[in-house]
Structure 1
Amino acid sequence: MGNDGRQDQASGKLKKTAGKVTGNDEMRTEGETQETKGDAKRKVEKVTDKVKGAVKGGGGRD
């Protein structure tokens, strides 16, 4: 699936840290945003996987 959110999380964390260290609030904010985007992507993927599993497995109902 390409970028599964981990890349955004890692890049965001790096930017956020670099922004804090250099005092660059714009970079820090951009990093926080990108990290949050990665978190959201990962959560959506987990839900999608659960739904796919439920549909494939019949949802446990007979």
Structure 2
Amino acid sequence: MPYINIKVTDEGVTAEQKKRLIEGATNLLNQVLDKPKSTIFVVIDEIMTDNWGVGGETVTALRKK
């Protein structure tokens, strides 16, 4: 039962993009690991940019630069 967790910032990822991520990740594990698609779980977490840090700064601060 493979589990994939995709984390993205909450900056306008569309429903269509999420659909494509879920389909693509599912297909990849199906092809590489030969796992049945019905057993592959994909979860997308959208993280506020204040809660995501890179290089000691929040993404919110980096986007303002």
- Please confirm whether the aligned pair reaches a TM-score higher than 0.5, indicating the same fold: no
The higher relative CO (CA closer than 8 Å, separation ≥ 6) is in: 2
Write 1 or 2 for the structure with the bigger share of strand: 2
With the length of structure 2 as denominator, give the TM-score of the two structures.
0.34
Q: Which has the larger radius of gyration?
A: 1
